[in-house]
Amino acid sequence: MDILTWKHTFVIGLSAYGFYNSHIVLFIGLQYITEFRDEDPSKDAQYVCQMCELSCNSGNVLAHILGIKHRNAYLVGCFLSL
């Protein structure tokens, strides 16, 4: 399921939450995700996470955002400096 097609996604500041597999999930660190679209609409969009230095396509960007590496990098980057 593509994050862009979710019908129940709510943006709160730079974070969002939605329903994934009948669970409410929080998307954190979205401000670090950049989408790149090709001029050819038949090609998949590419996503780059500046925080994790990772490039992924539309098929696995959701797994990255919900993954432990991205969540941990966000929490360490935002709260370790406090």
Which pLDDT score is estimated for 20? 62
Nearest CA among 73, 72, 74, 70 for reference residue 60: 70
pLDDT digits (tens, 9 = 90+) for 22-69: 777 888 888 899 989 888 889 888 999 999 999 999 888 888 998 999
Q: How confident is the model at residue 81 (pLDDT cuts 50, 70, 90)?
A: low
**19 pLDDT tier (thresholds 50, 70, 90):** low
pLDDT band at 5; cut points 50, 70, 90: very low
Give the confidence band of 77 by pLDDT, cuts at 50, 70, 90: confident
